[in-house]
Amino acid sequence: MPRPSSTVDATSIDAVTDAVLTASRLLVAISAESIESAGDAVTLPQFRLLVILQTRGPLRQVDLAEHLGVTSSTASRMVDRLVAVDMVDRQHSTVSRREIVLALTREGARVVRQVTTRRRKEIAKIVAKMPDEARHGLVDVLTAFAQAGGEPPARTSLEGIWA
């Protein structure tokens, strides 16, 4: 297994970026394979939408679009497809009856659980292959990375969350 060169400055933004980029290729491959396990049910962007609703709870469409980094019309088309397959539900807001919020359905939650479970198993296999000294500190580093990117933490158990 290649190890970083001792001449590489591990605090250099470029070196850290290269390491994260390399790891992200592996994580994207695992993500794509885990989503395929759900069949033709969802695309990667649609799965991201489901995960946002799972982690953040019901959201207005404008807020969902912001979390996705897309326009409201793009989010609307994604939501329409997921409503049609009973993974997302449109509900009246508890704050204002004029406002519609989007929520994950039981089917949407099931798909998130299924894909996440498969992804977790594949990642665990890779982590188990890492030497103990390489795993040391990884939780803190990856948690800080996710927090800096505004990503809520994953949960070991997805039961009962928003569905």
CATH at 77: 1.10.10.10
**150 in a structural domain:** no
Whether the pTM exceeds 0.75: the reply is yes
Q: What is the largest distance, in Å, between two alpha-carbon atoms of the chain?
A: 61
CA distances from residue 139 to 9, 46, 108, 135 in whole angstroms, order as listed = 21, 27, 28, 8
Helices (H) and strands (E) in the chain, counts: 7, 3
Report the alpha-carbon distance of residue 147 to residue 139 in Å, rounded.
12
pLDDT for res 104: 97
**123 in a structural domain:** yes
Residue 51's domain spans which residues? 13-141
Bigger pLDDT: 15 or 40?
15
**26 in a structural domain:** yes
Band of the pLDDT at 20, cuts 50, 70, 90?
confident
**8 in a structural domain:** no
**23 in a structural domain:** yes
CA angle 130, 131, 134 (to 5 degrees): 85
Which pLDDT tens digit goes with each residue over 124-135? 999 999 998 888
For the chain, how many structural domains are there in total?
Answer: 1
**19 in a structural domain:** yes
